[in-house]
Structure 1
Amino acid sequence: MSLNTAQNASGEAPSTSRPAPNLNNSPRLKRRRRPWVFALCAAFVAAGALGTAFAFTSVNDTQEVLVVSRDIKRGETIEVGDLSVVRVSVDPALTPVAGSQKGELQGSRAAVDLWAGTLLTEQAVTDSLVPGEGESLVGISLTPAQMPSEPLYGGDAVRIVTTPGDQGEVTDEEPVTIEAVVVGVSRVEETGETVVDVSVPEREAADLAARAATGRVALVLDARER
């Protein structure tokens, strides 16, 4: 039997081996880079950093201050149980009382009416009452023509001067003048008048009240520089 005509027992020609394909030589797919993906990731990272910084700053900006726990009328004694300590972010324009001073306010008095839930400021607390000993408080209702247009503030030194009578008579005598200190000012919208509370010595309170009741008085604001 010749070699070139040899067949296997089944009659099939012997198979010839073929080399395996080289996969390393196949062309690679190039990945497309998407710039917007990187930009979006960078934006998320920056936003997270800003959020963390804001939260950190917000926490550091808060401080412990005192708030009123129950309604306190003007002049009432402040007890420790009337105040609570909270941590809030406070406007720099305010002057709140620090929470650490809670115990120090025991026995102080409310300088104004305090309502539950309001922030306690330094101006709302006093160690003395108005009027003080030997002083009396008198309310005077004045029209715009009976007082200066300059706004009045607590502590202003003023004089209450008796004005001429209904007939406008003017005498050679010096007008009666009573020195006083402004304690409070309120405006009556219905009448347009202004009620000025002034503190005067007790011996002059009755005379001033009687003169103020006639409506023939005027308020004079003296120099604020002392």
Structure 2
Amino acid sequence: MLTARTRRARHAPSDDVAEPGATAPGAVEESPRLRSRRSPMLIVAGLLCAVLGALGGAFAWTQASRAQSVLVMTRDVARGEQLRSGDVGVVSISVAEGVSTLPASELDGLIGEHARVDLPAGSLPGRGSVGALPLTPGTSRVGLRLPAGRMPTSPMPAGTRISVVEVAEKSETQAAANASRSADAETPRSTDAVVVRAPVRAEDRTSWLLDVEVSADQAARLADLASRDRVAVIVRGP
């Protein structure tokens, strides 16, 4: 009898067997997994970035499709000056409605024309900014050739108010010098004028060419004096 009980005791369930649902000694208890939530702000930000990207792409495509090849000034050209090769280039840009420009196809025909207004580098010349220089009603245009010492060395851009002074002939220089010493010496005769284009150096490199606008009734006399090298120029104040 004792042997049978002992065997049954040996086969009895052990107290160390873990019950279902119980945690074994030393084991780390796993925390329950929480379902992640997406932030509404992140969703809105993502949608906003997508919309802005689409709008930016549409704007870039629109700008590229509306781009035109137009003329642009690459150098400063003052009013009255003649345009030369290298003064004008070509640029491809999107031009707003109402902005006057010249197409790139007119580049060759523009060389040799005169600037009617000041054209700084980077500006877009329009239809009315380049062409033949207009003549003010009641005036005439006269060309002068002035040797060194007959005009100021300071810049005289188009629009400068000047006076063209009548100079005595070489044979009369000594007589004029003697007359100037007298108290009743007469003031040299002069004609008011306006510079049409800035002076340019002549081919001889010793004189300057200057176009001026004068009253029509003074043009013939001034042209005659200029042909005989009897003119000098002074700049008038405002």
Q: TM-score, normalised by structure 1?
A: 0.48
Structure number with bigger Rg: 2
TM-score normalised over the length of structure 2? 0.46
